[in-house]
Amino acid sequence: MPRRVRHGVRFPWWLPNVGVAAAAVALFVVVAGNGVQGPAAGTAAWWVLTVTLHLPMLVIVAFLSGGVIERLGYFWRGRRPERPGRLPFRYPSVCVQLPMFNEHAVAARVIEAACALRWPRDRLTVQVLDDSTDGDTRALVDAVVARIRAGTGVNVQVLRREHRHGYKAGALEEGRKRTDAEFIAIFDADFVPPRDYLLRAIPHFYGPGGVPDHGLALVQAQWGHLNHDESALTRAQSLWVDDHHTLQMSWRSARWRFVNFTGTAGVWRAAAVEAAGGWRAASLVEDCELSFRHLFAGYRTTFVKEIVAPAELPATYTAYKAQQKRWTQGWVQVQRMHLATLLFRHRCSPGRRLHLVYHMCTSWQWPLWGLWITVLPALIHSGLWFGALGTAAGVALYVLPSLLWMSLVTALASAETRHTYTEGLTPSSFRRRFARILPYLVVNTGMLPHQFSAFTEGLFGPMHSEFERTPKAGDAASAAGAGAGATRPRRYGVKVHWPYVAAELFCVAYQLAWASVFLAEGLVWCALGAGYVAACVAYLLFRYGDHAGKVLFVLDPHRLLGARRVRRSRRAERVPAPAG
């Protein structure tokens, strides 16, 4: 897709957002202000107009149907364990790469875990790809590496670059060029790989007789959780991770022999990475971009749900938004680079092509949902919705599809994550896991304008965007592993993207305006629906800044409460004591 330029100036990615907001305001003024009404419900003109205006919903239902096929297909192909091959007599050489940038809270923990992996010491190298700019973090990394190297003899190296060219992809490529290992395992700083990870993952690159399978480029493990019960936010995230990994990726791997690398907890065949052109910072999801290049080059990738690498879920809404922005924006950039190849040049069956397009374009659900919640209130007000045929029809068509889909996903993800949790599946554990559906719905609804903005930036913004790290909370005890001289983990700033904030504020105001219109007309259920959307978005907007203990970006609730207590105490001191 060519770069959009206007008179020598880069096309502002947020301009389409402004256009959508202006169109939404115009829609509200015309429909609500002028009382526009469509044809009588049930007439031929009504059916044609209503079905046409429901096109976004129909595409959403098509995406949901694809999701149902994947989840139910898991029981057909995907549920059975992936069978590893046999390692050769002489173990292959492995390089473990740990890319990190100012990861003071978790650096020591992941370095220690990587160096504790069970593998012949003469066949193992650990590369700490430290791009940190914070002096304390660099000192912490150096101290941990020196202590481990002296105490265990593990060949662990710290590789630093003068400039962060290419961000994470640039660091991985620099490290790749400095190793001749046959396999490269990659772990982000918030992961804690189990000690037997390599012993369980590497055999999948070999057949039963120990013969290398050179067509297999990647073995991807399942993400586990270190803090899934910490808050409503982490419970919501654990649900979608369980669903995506246990159900979706297992089926994709078994049915199509292709999954995208998730950026961590995977092992690459070094020769395959070399053949595909190495790591490139062409998109914010360099892992997925490399995966599709391997697909086009004829390689296979596989997912092994039986190998679980636990990780820290983003513990704050600010961190979660930063992560999701990067992923959604990056996936759209991948489409800009590779969708045409997938559609017209990659040789495969029609069914496989359809699935791969669905796989690459899943992020389109965000703008579709954003468009739908913008248009639906106007359709309700003008009578061009199926609820005009009766309450039962409205509930069946607008509520049940999403509710049934979400219930199915939650039930299957809660029942099938046998390898992720130490606690076995019991009626009580199933109920607790199924209850994650509530925070999941709130968080996903609240993320709509944010994700819409990320999609727009990915589609219209520059291809080479800044890679913004996801803040990690970590464990102070783990981070102190460098010894008594270790400093306390620190917090790092997160960039506030004001166009995203503006989109969230507009969404709240727009939905509340429609809620007031529906209340005035006695459409209580419709008013509750619009109010629910507004409340979810407002809640996540309010929590922006919580990575630094703040709300609304700058307000410190603890300091405000402390100041209130001080004022209260001073007023009490000024009140004269009652006469005895």
> pLDDT tens digits, residue range 221-255?
999 999 999 999 999 999 999 999 999 999 999 99
Per-residue pLDDT band for 469 (boundaries 50, 70, 90) equals confident
CA–CA separation, 538 vs 559, rounded Å? 22
Higher pLDDT, 37 or 7: 37
Q: Which pLDDT belongs to residue 558?
A: 64
Judged against a pLDDT cut of 90, whether residue 11 lies above it is answered with no
CA triplet 332, 172, 312: central angle to 5 degrees?
A: 70
Per-residue pLDDT band for 392 (boundaries 50, 70, 90) equals confident
The average pLDDT across 374-383 equals: 95
Q: Are 365 and 59 in contact (CB under 8 A)?
A: no
Mean pLDDT of the chain: 90
Read off the pLDDT of residues 345-373 as tens digits, 9 standing for 90 and up: 999 999 999 999 999 999 999 999 999 99
Q: Are 174 and 161 in contact (CB under 8 A)?
A: yes
365 residue type, one letter: Q
What percentage of the chain exceeds 70 in pLDDT? 90
Q: Which pLDDT belongs to residue 28?
A: 92
**CA distances to 80, 291, 432, 467 from 251, in Å:** 10, 17, 25, 30
Q: Which pLDDT belongs to residue 126?
A: 98
Q: Which pLDDT belongs to residue 191?
A: 97
- Tell me the domains of the chain and their CATH numbers: 86-316 (3.90.550.10)
CA–CA separation, 530 vs 508, rounded Å? 9
Q: Where are the beta strands (DSSP E) in 42-174?
A: 94-100, 124-130, 155-159
Coil vs helix vs strand at 545 = coil
373-382 burial, b if ≥16 CB within 10 A, otherwise e?
bbbbbbbbbb
Q: Which of 105, 547, 497, 499 is nearest to 319 (CA)?
A: 547
Q: Which pLDDT belongs to residue 5?
A: 41
The average pLDDT across 292-300 equals: 97
Q: Are 61 and 396 in contact (CB under 8 A)?
A: no
287 is known as an active-site residue: yes
Q: Which pLDDT belongs to residue 495?
A: 78
Per-residue pLDDT band for 566 (boundaries 50, 70, 90) equals very low
CA triplet 372, 233, 559: central angle to 5 degrees?
A: 115
Name the burial class of residue 221, with classes exposed (0-12), middle (13-18) and buried (19+) by CB atoms within 10 angstroms of its CB. Answer: buried
Read off the pLDDT of residues 124-173 as tens digits, 9 standing for 90 and up: 999 999 999 999 999 999 999 999 999 999 999 999 998 889 999 999 99
The average pLDDT across 501-518 equals: 96
CA–CA separation, 203 vs 208, rounded Å? 9
CA–CA separation, 263 vs 220, rounded Å? 9
Judged against a pLDDT cut of 60, whether residue 61 lies above it is answered with yes
Q: Which of 206, 121, 203, 132 is nearest to 162 (CA)?
A: 132
How long a stretch of residues is the chain? 580
Judged against a pLDDT cut of 80, whether residue 485 lies above it is answered with no
Q: Are 108 and 197 in contact (CB under 8 A)?
A: no
DSSP structure string for 390-450: -HHHHHHHHTHHHHHHHHHHHHHHHHH-TTT-SSPP-HHHHHHHHTTHHHHHHHHHHTHHH
Read off the pLDDT of residues 299-312 as tens digits, 9 standing for 90 and up: 999 999 999 999 99
Lowest mean pLDDT among 255-259, 287-291, 411-415, 472-476: 472-476
The average pLDDT across 488-516 equals: 86
131 is known as an active-site residue: yes
Judged against a pLDDT cut of 50, whether residue 288 lies above it is answered with yes
Residue whose pair of structure tokens reads 């419709």 in the numeric block: 526
* Per annotation, catalytic residue among 131, 188, 242, 475: 131
Coil vs helix vs strand at 238 = helix
Q: Are 452 and 364 in contact (CB under 8 A)?
A: no
Q: Are 183 and 267 in contact (CB under 8 A)?
A: yes
CA triplet 124, 125, 131: central angle to 5 degrees?
A: 155
Lowest mean pLDDT among 94-98, 468-472, 488-492, 546-550: 488-492
- 408 CB-side CA count, 13 A: 17
Read off the pLDDT of residues 85-135 as tens digits, 9 standing for 90 and up: 999 999 999 999 999 999 999 999 999 999 999 999 999 999 999 999 999
Judged against a pLDDT cut of 80, whether residue 498 lies above it is answered with yes
The average pLDDT across 507-516 equals: 97
Give the number of other CB atoms < 10 A from CB of residue 320.
Answer: 25
The average pLDDT across 171-197 equals: 97
* Per annotation, catalytic residue among 130, 242, 243, 287: 287
Q: Which of 261, 260, 294 is nearest to 275 (CA)?
A: 294
What is the value of pTM for the model shown?
0.90
DSSP state of 191: B
CA–CA separation, 235 vs 245, rounded Å? 15
Per-residue pLDDT band for 273 (boundaries 50, 70, 90) equals very high
Q: Which of 12-26, 295-309, 459-473 has the highest mean pLDDT?
A: 295-309
How large is the C-alpha radius of gyration of the chain? 26
Torsion of CA 416, 254, 259, 225, to 10 degrees: 20
CA–CA separation, 340 vs 345, rounded Å? 7
The average pLDDT across 195-216 equals: 97
Judged against a pLDDT cut of 70, whether residue 478 lies above it is answered with no
Residues 6+ apart with CB under 8 A from 244: none
DSSP state of 209: T
Q: Which pLDDT belongs to residue 568?
A: 57
The average pLDDT across 524-547 equals: 93
Q: How far is CA 79 from the centre of its chain?
A: 24
